[in-house]
Amino acid sequence: MKQLTPLLINKLNKSKPLLGLVIIFAALLSTSEAIADTVEAKIEQSDLFGVISARAKKLAAEEYKAPTEINLDTLNDIDYQDYRSIRFKTEKSVWRDQGLYELQLFHPGFLYKTPITINTIDEQAKRTRLPFSTDFYQYDGTATPLKDEIDKSLEGTQLGHAGFRLHYPLNTNEYKDEIMVFQGASYFRVVGPKQVYGLSARGLAIDTAENSGEEFPVFKEFWLVKPQPEQTEITLFALLDSPSVTGAYKFKIDPTTSTLVNVDMEVFARKDINKLGVAPLTSMFYHGENSTKFFDDYRPEVHDSDGLLTQSEDNKWVWRPLNNPTQLSVTSFSYHNPKGFGLAQRDRDFNNYLDTEAHYHARPSLWIEPQGEWGNGRVELVEIPTDTETNDNIVSYWVPEKQLKAGDSLKLSYKMSTFNAFLAQHQKARVLRTRIGSAALPGEDNPPPESHRQFTVDFSGADINSLSKMLDLNADIQLSTGEVRDITVQKLPNNLGWRVAFKIAPQDDQPVDMRLSLKLRNKEISEVWSYVWYPNDIK
């Protein structure tokens, strides 16, 4: 089980719209606590986001109140083995057999000591707060005695939930697959067809990889609008809170050939924020084809994602292979109105993982597509050293150029979509693999230092794979420091792509930031491969 630490984050596992919703708007506007059953009024669904935004704005003007933790030893003392033995009863699913969607809940306790509030809105626009009950759960194995202990400890106390998951017939009409889960802070995970959970998304990231330490905002309350029986989309709303920021979120989920999530967000700063990370993605890279350290592991590769992909306003694509560094690495890519960015699992060949339990070859890739103009800013990639695959050590997000100051607000929208190896709109040749080895020649009398490296970068694509090997493809290589030599470009056998091979010699122990693309008659025909070599990684 992954642990919640500042940098290594816990990885948890066309109908007509409703015209009105019954909600308690007076409570929304007048208190920072969960909605109380007092005044009711009709509000159209289109206005619900605005009402939650008003509540978030009011919260931001008040002193932060930390969420109340569970005060029950019975729940706080649950260990990992007990917690995983508690299972939600399928027959207790919310909206069971009433349509395409069903909702299941997560038990509080273990790492989840600050329960959240979950509300549903039904066809009659009636709001229902979902209560906690041990009757919802099956307590198996070592968790069997817990039901009676919890019931006795509660003694009428009302608890919330640790989170929830949505089920939908994604892969077959015979079974409703788990397609999305919210559990822990502002974390959520989605899958597309024939995928298994891997990387996570978040509502917001604050001060990631900063010396001051990272802050983790929390989705403290949710409202889920019950879909019509044959409705393929579902909408939910969330209220976010933290010491530095509050916010309102709207998620519109549409699972088809991929799972699409439209996100609207409006956040309000309680105090100055040094670094705001928008649309953050969190993943894991333990070791892969480009690793230069030895890993005592029968599996050739272990990772949820193997690269960061970005698309600029002028359609320049950049691919940055991920790494498990020996020291914290933070890399930035500056953009004006980016078209998108995301973490991808391009390698989807089981033979490159050999893991029959984790199914790394089936982990989803996630693409963030800004809606409207996001202006100037940067896509930031954080790579954290880890000695285990249980730790998420990769984070990526958008950092607006303008800092959010106390009293400021920010309203943005974006689309998040799952994909497999490649995006349909990405038509240029793509990096297939990156491999790194010693630059020394066999039997060389005076071999270069180990920090000197041999790189091979293979590109593939329908257009370049069919090109004749007699054509003169050039490698455009740029280095921030150091030297490059012995550059070759060769076509791979059986039309499998083209290989660029080269050697680099770092200057002293300075990192070498490299960019490489393929050109045909001075025209760029591939994405840009971006990589930073740290000479100390070989020590």
Which residue segments constitute the domains of the chain, with CATH numbers given? 21-419 (2.70.98.10), 430-538 (2.60.40.10)
Q: Is the pLDDT of residue 501 over 50?
A: yes
Q: Is the pLDDT of residue 155 over 80?
A: no
Q: pLDDT tier at 70 (50, 70, 90 boundaries)?
A: confident
Tokens of 531: 């990589």
Q: What is the torsional sign of CA 283, 288, 292, 298? A: positive
Q: pLDDT tier at 11 (50, 70, 90 boundaries)?
A: very low
Strand partners for 121: 127, 225
Q: Tokens 């069919």 map to which residue?
A: 466
Tokens of 110: 């273990």
- How far apart are alpha carbons 443 and 461 in whole angstroms? 37
Which has more confidence, 159 or 90?
90
DSSP labels, 291-343: --S----SSS-EES--EEEEE-TT--EEEEE----SS-EEEEEEEES--EEEE
Which has more confidence, 124 or 507?
507
Of 80, 76, 88, the C-alpha closest to 153 is: 76
- How far apart are alpha carbons 81 and 68 in whole angstroms? 25
- Phi/psi at 386 (5° precision): -145, 150
- How far apart are alpha carbons 372 and 410 in whole angstroms? 13
The predicted model gives 73-79 an average pLDDT of 85
Considering the chain, what percentage of its residues have pLDDT values greater than 90? Answer: 79
Q: pLDDT tier at 44 (50, 70, 90 boundaries)?
A: low
- How far apart are alpha carbons 200 and 283 in whole angstroms? 6
Each as own residue / partner, the long-range contacts of residues 292-296 (CB below 8 Å, 24 or more positions apart, any chain) are: 292/436, 292/453, 292/537, 292/538, 293/324, 293/326, 293/537
The predicted model gives 283-295 an average pLDDT of 95
Give the H/E segment covering residue 205: strand 204-206
Instruction: Summarize pLDDT for 317-368 with one digit per residue, the tens.
Output: 999 999 999 999 999 999 999 999 999 999 999 999 999 999 999 999 999 9
- Phi/psi at 283 (5° precision): -145, -170
**If you compute the radius of gyration of the chain from its CA atoms, what whole number of angstroms results?**
25
Instruction: Give the per-residue pLDDT at 83.
Output: 93
Q: Is the pLDDT of residue 235 over 80?
A: yes
DSSP state of 91: G
- How far apart are alpha carbons 251 and 48 in whole angstroms? 12
Instruction: Give the per-residue pLDDT at 15.
Output: 31
Tokens of 137: 């759960």
Instruction: Summarize pLDDT for 265-276 with one digit per residue, the tens.
Output: 999 999 999 999
Of 187, 207, 248, the C-alpha closest to 411 is: 248
